[in-house]
């Protein structure tokens, strides 16, 4: 796979463009400050004069109200929450968009599932850092970058890829390396990953392990340490050294036990369920469910959150984490 670095990206093609960063949250504050420090023209766009507005000004950035900023801008990067983007697009962006503008995203959901349908006379690109905004900012300040994905949905100018690479360079991403994907691939793999492995899979694995031990009469506090707390140690090892690298670091007993029992826990049945989840991502039925859920103000969503809050592990964990001075207790 081709990896793009600084030498593949020409920052100069953005020098005469105004880049509007809509939203000043996790990604927004990092993109805006990094691009500005890369010598580019940045306007932060917000919808009300609240703490984000003051923070952006304190960070030395020009801030405007959404509509005004879009009118002044050439590149519009949408960094407000995904569920809010379609409304902002309809009310503030579309009426003020000009031919030849560039609409940019950090996640493909709204384009891929047609929640935002852009006119054909603009470029539509994605620059998606594979890390949270604070890391994107911190790495940039340390003269490093966070690996990122770029994608082109619409290439009106014939230069969309050059623009995406230049933007990626502006936020520091080409220092680390940039890979090309499509809106479809980024969106579908992102949803699949968070549903089955990262968020959904991991929480249910922890819960099942914890509840199995507690139901068998073991102390919840001990079960918490074993099934939740130690997860971080193992994930850190996997993150740094891969799966075999993790096994190299644990005891032979843990290695043999894991290698032999793991496939019995996550086996064919789980794989079947993952394929089903993937199908629902690919055919759009998950997206439809999520959009309708939001329109109805999240009845199922709230019930699911409530159910998790009521799990014993959450109450036990809250107490145990008070013993851990290095953790920000909430
Ligand atoms: P945040 O939730 O951090 O963004 C919140 C910001 O959006 C706030 O400044 C908020 O201001 C502002 N905002 C909300 N509504 C509006 C509005 N109507 N007009 C202008 N500003 C508004 O978002 P993220 O940074 O997490 O996500 C942004 C995009 O980046 C998403 O597409 C996401 O999928 C993607 N992404 C996120 C990653 C992450 O780690 N967070 C990683 C990679 C991609 P206020 O409170 O005043 O409304
Ligand atoms: Mg993701």
Options 29, 31, 47, 107, the catalytic residue: 107
- 80 secondary structure, DSSP code: S
- First-to-last alpha carbon distance for the chain, in angstroms, is 42
Residue nearest to atom 35 of ligand 1 (CA): 106
For residues 165 and 191, what is the distance between their CA atoms, to the nearest angstrom? 24
28 lines ligand 1 (CB under 6 A): yes
How much is the average pLDDT of 147-158? Answer: 98
| H or E element, residue 41 | strand 41-46
* Pocket lining: 93 vs ligand 1, CB cutoff 6 Å: no
Helix (H) or strand (E) holding 45: strand 41-46
Q: Where are the alpha helices (DSSP H) in 144-266?
A: 160-170, 173-176, 183-192, 200-215, 220-224, 231-249, 252-265
pLDDT at 329 over 90: no
Is the pLDDT score of 9 beyond 70? yes
Provide the 3-class DSSP secondary structure of residue 295: helix
- pTM equals 0.95
Percent of the chain with pLDDT over 70: 99
Task: Report the distance separating Cα 18 and Cα 39, nearest Å.
Answer: 11
Q: For the residues of 10-30, what is the DSSP string, one character each?
A: -GGGGTT-EEEEE--SHHHHH
- d(C-alpha 185, C-alpha 112), whole Å: 9
Average pLDDT over residues 208-237: 98
Instruction: Measure the CA–CA gap between 148 and 6, rounded to whole angstroms.
Output: 13
pLDDT at 330: 57
Check if 27 has its Cβ closer than 6 Å to any atom of ligand 1. yes
Judge whether residue 212 has pLDDT over 60: yes
Residue-wise pLDDT tens digits, 154-171: 999 999 999 999 999 999
Mean pLDDT, all residues of the chain: 97
Assess contact for 45 and 22: CB atoms under 8 A: yes
For the segment 50-71, what is each residue's pLDDT rounded down to a tens digit?
A: 999 999 999 999 999 999 999 9
Amino acid 328: pLDDT: 76
Beta-strand runs (E) in 62-212: 62-65, 75-78, 102-105, 123-129, 148-154, 178-181
Closest residue by Cα to atom 11, ligand 1, is 23
Q: Residue 109: nearest ligand to its CA?
A: 1
Give CA separation, 203 vs 198, 200, 208, 293, in Å: 8, 6, 9, 22
Please give the pLDDT value at position 13: 98
The reply to whether ligand 1 has any atom less than 6 angstroms from the CB of 46 is yes
**Does 110 contact ligand 1 (Cβ within 6 A)?**
no
- Bridge partners (DSSP) listed for residue 45: 22, 64
**In the block, which residue shows the tokens 């139901």?**
215
Expressed in angstroms and rounded, the spacing between residue 78 Cα and the centre of ligand 1 is 8
Active site residue 31: no
Best residue among 21, 27, 49 to mutate for probing ligand 1, ranked by most atoms within 8 Å of CB: 27
Instruction: Give me the pLDDT at residue 33, please.
Output: 98
How far apart (Å, rounded) are the C-alpha atoms in residues 128 and 207? 31
Task: Give the neighbor-by-neighbor strand order of the sheet with 41-46.
Answer: 62-65, 41-46, 18-22, 75-78, 102-105, 123-129, 148-154, 178-181
pLDDT digits (tens, 9 = 90+) for 236-294: 999 999 999 999 999 999 999 999 999 999 999 999 999 999 999 999 999 999 999 99
């Amino acid at each position: 796979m081709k990896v793009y670095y600084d030498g593949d990206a020409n920052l100069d093609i953005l020098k005469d463009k105004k880049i509007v960063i809509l939203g000043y949250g996790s990604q927004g504050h990092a993109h805006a400050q990094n691009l500005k420090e890369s010598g580019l023209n940045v306007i932060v766009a917000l919808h009300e004069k609240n703490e984000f507005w003051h923070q952006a000004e304190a960070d030395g950035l020009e801030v405007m109200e959404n509509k005004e900023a879009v009118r002044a801008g050439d590149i519009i990067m949408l960094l407000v929450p995904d569920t809010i983007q379609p409304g902002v697009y309809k009310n503030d962006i579309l009426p003020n968009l000009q031919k030849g503008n560039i609409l940019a995203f950090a996640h493909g959901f709204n384009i891929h599932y047609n929640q935002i349908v852009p006119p054909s006379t603009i470029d539509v690109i994605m620059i998606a850092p594979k890390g949270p905004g604070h890391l994107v900012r911190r790495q940039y300040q340390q003269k490093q970058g966070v690996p990122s994905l770029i994608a082109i949905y619409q290439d009106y100018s014939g230069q969309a890829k050059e623009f995406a690479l230049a933007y990626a360079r502006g936020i520091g991403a080409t220092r680390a390396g940039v890979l090309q994907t499509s809106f479809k691939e980024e969106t579908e793999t992102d949803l699949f990953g968070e549903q089955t492995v990262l968020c959904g899979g991991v929480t249910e694995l922890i819960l099942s392990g914890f509840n199995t031990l507690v139901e068998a009469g073991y102390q919840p506090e001990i079960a918490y340490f074993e099934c939740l707390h130690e997860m971080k140690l193992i994930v850190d090892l996997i993150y740094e050294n891969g799966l075999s690298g993790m096994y190299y670091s644990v005891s032979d007993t843990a290695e043999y036990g894991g290698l032999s029992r793991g496939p019995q826990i996550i086996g064919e049945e789980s794989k079947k369920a993952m394929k089903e989840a993937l199908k629902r991502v690919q055919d759009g039925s998950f997206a439809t469910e999520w959009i309708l859920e939001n329109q109805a103000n999240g009845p199922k969503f709230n019930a699911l959150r409530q159910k998790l809050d009521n799990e014993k592990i959450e109450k036990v964990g809250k107490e145990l984490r008070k013993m851990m001075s290095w953790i920000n207790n909430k």
